[in-house]
Structure 1
């Protein structure tokens, strides 16, 4: 397949120490000093689902809720854990006790003031199996949560959990909600972030308004309206006509065009997320690792990247964050070899014409549909019939994520910069994100061992071994990292503050609109 376009920028620079590699062109009419007022209309590339920050497993929802909630701790640009709702924190020498001194004067959107009771409630709610929290296992090692006074929380563990603090730096586990608010969080989330939730029209928009009592100072914007527009061309048209102030995920085939347009601003960064092809391990053919390896060998990852993403990313055999010490850069993808794959399938008992596979892809990610369409021809050459079934995002979540009712699919994950979050959630047999039915005792052992390994270098080596096992067994087919991009009108200021260090979440606290 011919390359559609050359990836902009040096891969050396992209894999350097700076995550945020994009830059905005100078716009002559832009004001340099922030002003207050106006509602930002954001063309959000995805649709939100359950608004309960504990229960939601979708980055699309988390990207909006990032502005409604704050966590007890967060990370800086180097992904180092720093205080947030906790003014300070300490870890005991034996790694079993974490003490948090809370920031005074933090108010929730319901007018109440945050105390240790709210933190204890939030942590216990996340840990409670009845809640259905996707990050419940963060608290598996917790023995007690003590609140000696209103501004102090002491968490004691039964055993060492080395990634505990960094897992709290994501809103999913570390979010602090008002005590007793769990029942309303799914429809009307209440937090203490810079914006308060106003309303949601499912599949259409979410409206947020500035919270004037935000502990870190009020936002410049009066509000943010997230218009949910999965169709890339519709999103881009809205930006060009001025209907939208900002969009994320500039259509891959139009990125250069928008970058060359002096009337618009563009921000790019690497990576936004990583993508992989999923094989349902409860489906009989995929219980055989040779079948999974053969399917991996059918795919030309570079050609797929060019065909579906127009080169807006970089292939990888590892899903680890590319700047992480746990990223195994020595791991290389299987090359496409359709003849060898065809023979491997025949040897496994699946000769040409005997496999008819349904590939479920969601229209929430149009490039997943394009990827599936490209795969059809390669699989036909290998003697496998691939039929595409297109699903809405809600249907994909219901069928593939919850019911595990699929044979083959494709998904991407955001924000999993923390290796425990990544490997335990996705590949441990009890992991909250293990919707493929993977059960590998060796991975279970290693991901548990990593949790009790305090030395960072030793932990990184364990995760490299996990990556090797995932590859050797072809549990999933890792494809690429995808670039992130934002297009905006010239009157939008503060775009350099929008992207969270994890590359996925957006924060509009310091964004403003030209008067």
Structure 2
């Protein structure tokens, strides 16, 4: 794999040097008997932070009501993360960093993990956070009938969760050396033991830095600083205004007009941001492990034929995808989840790119007709793929664009999980298991391709049970070969996270999270 046009990337030389190293540290963090102390970071940006002020930001309208247990859309997740908290968060070093847990440790076999719960934390209704709330949160995720997207990360792994004094003990069914990163995943926000799924609109309960002052469906959310927040000294903003827009183009126009103070949190193709005057903004570009998954329903024609899936993969011009969607600021993908910034990556695979001979060899004169379904967030990606495939006589491709609310609707029948061909963005994860367990594992809730391979499932378990780099490298080669050969998901690129910020906004970079700690705005 290679980085496209590295000279054009706005990544500093320091970050390019540090990213692979910190990912190694992230794995070391989860070693058998690790204990992590709370870390603090210096205020971001130049000058002295100013308390107060209003940050105006934007997301694609998540539609309807939000719920920490169920919300799957990128925009909705950002709002929820501003009001609620998890046991840990992924920091700028790609490490699991303490939040509602202050430290953790594991037994030598990585089967039992103990998390000490932070004392003195209050929910925004005045009640005190206790270990029983953590236990109830995870039982809610993995319980019978749960439709939480987080269930896929813990089903088959988490056996029991029990309070033990001021701590919570997670007992696993199988060893998992990177378990702390799972508790930093989406939909793992800690809620009261009495919480009922679907009721968040009645209370907007959470322990986070902000409370909901006003929620107007279709328009936006206004958040106010939580006066009882346990880490309030690190929260400088007084107000955060989330404005809802119908698509990414509208978000760009809002920044261009000065209606909002930044674009961050959701991926935006470079063909939309090219009109921005970057001299008036602080623009950052950071390599990540996130990607847009072009998933095929392998149990539905025409994608029940592996030759069709392989032909689509060989028809795509990945260089053009990187240039046109990401301005060349991406790492080339090869239909596996392994970004080259992971410490262990596959070897020996032929790099796919547009190859007419391969397509002809696989399909001969067959005509393959299908529709790509996606949300407005990935509209540019879908249209570009449609354009590329139509260059071949073998493909007749339509595109269906849905609102974020429609595409990421709750339940198993949501379009992003049920349509024959979909494109969905997966935010950066510090360990590949978070992609493998949700996107490829048999029966996983987010397995949009409905793919099943017992051999692959067993390899995932082997990888999770070990932390040795050499042993993991052998397993990764086997995993990647199956993903590449069966190709239930096409992964063309790992785009950098690009943020377009007003020069008055000072915001540290955190991969895959919305974190307003040490964020401030000049006013």
Segments of 5+ residues of structure 2 without an aligned counterpart are 23-44
Q: Aligned pair in 2 of structure 1 residues 462, 251: CA closer, same or farther (>3 Å)?
A: closer
Select which of 326, 330, 337 maps to 1:313. Answer: 330
Q: How far off is 1:128 after superposition?
A: 0.8
Q: Is the 8 A contact 2:322 2:495 kept in 1?
A: no
Name which of 106, 111, 122 aligns with 1:96. 111
Equivalent of residue 283 in structure 1, options 286, 292, 300: 300
Structure-2 change in CA distance of 1:255 and 1:184 (3 Å): closer
The CA deviation at 1:112 is 0.7
Q: Tell me, which stretches of 5 or more residues in structure 1 are unaligned?
A: 22-29
Alignment partner of 1:119 out of 129, 134, 144: 134
For residue 145 of structure 1, the aligned residue among 147, 161, 167 is 161
Query: What is the CA deviation profile of residues 459-505 of structure 1, one whole-angstrom value per residue up to 9, with x for unaligned ones?
Result: 4542342122110122221100112222232322x22x2x32xx222
Note the C-alpha offset of 1:114: 0.8
Give the superposition deviation at 1:180: 0.9
Kindly state the Cα deviation for residue 45 of structure 1 after the two structures are TM-superposed: 4.7
Tell me, yes or no, if structure 1 residue 270 matches structure 2 residue 271. no
CA contact (8 A) 2:371 2:399 kept: yes
Specify whether residues 190 and 19 from structure 1 end up closer, same or farther in structure 2 by C-alpha distance, changes over 3 A only. farther
Matches within 5 A, 1:25-424: 32-45=47-60, 47=62, 51-136=66-151, 137-138=153-154, 140-149=156-165, 151-173=166-188, 175-187=189-201, 188-218=203-233, 219-229=235-245, 231-248=247-264, 252-253=270-271, 255=273, 258=276, 260-261=278-279, 263-271=280-288, 273-317=290-334, 318-328=336-346, 331-346=349-364, 351-352=365-366, 354-378=367-391, 381-398=392-409, 402=414, 404-424=417-437
Q: Give CA-to-partner distance per residue, 1:43-65, whole Å, 9 cap, x none.
A: 22563666322322333322222
Whether the 8 Å contact between 1:361 and 1:368 is mirrored in structure 2 is no
TM-score normalised to the size of structure 2? 0.84
Question: 1:368 and 1:63, CA in 2 relative to 1: closer, same or farther beyond 3 A?
Answer: same
1:61-85, Cα deviation, whole Å (9 max, x unpaired): 2222222222223344332334321
Post-superposition offset of 1:423: 0.4
Q: Normalising by the residue count of structure 1, what TM-score does the alignment of the two structures yield?
A: 0.85
Name which of structure 1's ranges 67-76 and 212-221 shifts more when overlaid on structure 2: 67-76
Aligned Cα RMSD in Å? 3.1
Equivalent residues of 2:378, 2:423 under 8 A apart: no
State the alpha-carbon separation in 2 of the partners of residues 12 and 487 from structure 1: 16
SS across alignment from 1:359:
strand
Counterpart for residue 505 of structure 1 = 513
Post-superposition Cα deviations, 1:263-318, rounded to whole Å, max 9, x if no partner, equal 33223222373123222212232222122111211111112322344434232113
Aligned length: 489
Q: What's 1:8 paired with?
A: 8
